[in-house]
Every structure is written in C-alpha cells, then in structure tokens.
Amino acid sequence: MIELKPFAALGGADHGWLKAKHHFSFASYYDPKNMGHGALRVWNDDEIAPNTGFPAHPHRDMEIITYVREGAITHQDSLGNKGRTEAGDVQVMSAGSGIRHSEYNLEPTTTRIFQIWIEPATEGGQPTWGAKPFPKSDRSGKLVTLASGFADDAEALPIRAKARVLGTTLKAGETAEYAADKARHIYIVPAAGSVEVNGVRVNARDGAAIRDEATLKITALEDSELVLVDAA
C-alpha cells in the first residue's frame, strides 16, 4: 500500500525567514489523523533565509536527522558541539535525557533541509551529536544508509531507533530496489526530480507512505535525488 502525500497538500507555515512544509502534524499544523508513520514522527521541508535560523531551544527523547539539500546549516549545542553541515552532508542528534541547540543559516543564500524526527527505541540516555559527509557521487545509482540504529550499518551515523535513513541519486531511467519488511513503515521523499515507486509517481518534495510492500522498485523518471526512511 502506497499513500501519496502531494507537496501542495502538506501543512505548513511561512514565518518570513522560514518557509516550512510539514509531512506530519507539527507546531500550528495539527491533524489527528496525520501524527506520523510508525516511529517516524516528523518530516519537515524547511527553507531558511540567509543569516537567520532557530535560536537555542530544548529537545529530549527524539532522534533528529538533518539532511541538507542546498546551502549549509550551522549547529551549536549545550554539550559544546559546533559544526557546519553543508549540502550532501547529514547530521544527527540523539536528544536523550535533554539537550539545547541552535541551528542557523550563516550562508549568503537560502538553505534547504529535510528535518526528520524518529522516536527512539528507549527513553533517556546521554545526548549526542554527529555529522558526516555523504558525497552524492557515492550514492549514484544505489541506496546508501546515512543514519541507522542497526550495528551492521557501520558506515552510517548512529541513531537510537530501530530505523534507517537512506539516500540515493538516480539518473533518468535508473532503478534502485529496496527489500522492505512488510511490517515496517517506509517513507520516501524525492529532494529533486521525480520517481516511480512500484508504479506510483512521486514528484519532488511529495511524500510516499508505504506499508505491506515486500520490495520497492524505485525508477527515476528524470534525474532525481531521494531520501527513504525505514522505521518500526
């Protein structure tokens, strides 16, 4: 089963400095029938104006993955971590028992990110933060695991959830396949381009919520970049 969530139908808000679209209920957008997809709780499509951002604010008991599509985001937190994550890179924060952080676009151009929140397998624990480059050339034609709560995914950034975040870039006509456990929750969003997933067209920034599919065949209808979350 594939439920398409067209970008134009997503909830959202325009704060001037921040233009946000919400795949699931978030902040002032609330739909009791759209509270997440399994352990995937938030998928925000954010456009952040130059020299603006999110001032310091708290989080706890959430795995927060930031996928940078364009520009860069600069992070600072209460543990003393500082880092600049640019397009093609990914950062993760395990909020654990509690952390405060800020995220700013200190670049001269708009930064565009996907911010993905996944509920952790257990609550509490020491907060952590990390970032890593994932060159798009290394993801060409294949799904690469960017963040994972499974020990076998040694090259991925670690998260504390029974979940994986994967990415790929596909040239028009290329296909990538993903073996999905039918009991799990899969969510796919193309950052750019358009793809067909098991016969369903998914355009740029649309969401596709997937259950009960044993294999996913993802074919690029044009040059495309996409992110996939596999969650409990």
Q: What is the mean pLDDT of residues 121-129?
A: 97
User: Is the Cβ–Cβ distance between 176 and 218 less than 8 Å?
Assistant: yes
Q: Please determine, for residue 136, whether its predicted confidence score (pLDDT) is greater than 90.
A: no
Tell me, what's the pLDDT at 124?
98
CATH for 96: 2.60.120.10
Residue 167 sits in which domain range? 2-231
Q: What share of the chain has pLDDT > 90, as a percent? A: 99
Tell me, what's the pLDDT at 115?
98
* End-to-end C-alpha distance for the chain, whole angstroms: 16
Kindly report, residue by residue over 160-208, the tens digit of the pLDDT: 999 999 999 999 999 999 999 999 999 999 999 999 999 999 999 999 9
d(Cα 182, Cα 198) in Å, to the nearest integer?
14
Kindly report, residue by residue over 39-81, the tens digit of the pLDDT: 999 999 999 999 999 999 999 999 999 999 999 999 999 999 9
Q: Residue 164: which of 87, 113, 179 has the closest Cα?
A: 179
Tell me, what's the pLDDT at 208?
98
Tell me, what's the pLDDT at 220?
98
Q: Please determine, for residue 143, whether its predicted confidence score (pLDDT) is greater than 90.
A: yes
d(Cα 75, Cα 87) in Å, to the nearest integer?
14
Both tokens of 201, joined, read 């067209």
User: Is the Cβ–Cβ distance between 167 and 142 less than 8 Å?
Assistant: no
CA triplet 219, 223, 228: central angle to 5 degrees?
Answer: 55
**pLDDT averaged over every residue in the chain:** 97
User: What pLDDT band is residue 25 in, cutting at 50, 70 and 90?
Assistant: very high
Eight-state DSSP code of residue 122: S
The count of other CB atoms within 10 Å of the CB of residue 7 is: 17
Type of residue at 175: T
Number of domains in the chain: 1
Q: Please determine, for residue 215, whether its predicted confidence score (pLDDT) is greater than 90.
A: yes
Type of residue at 90: V
Number of residues written out for the chain: 232
Eight-state DSSP code of residue 8: G
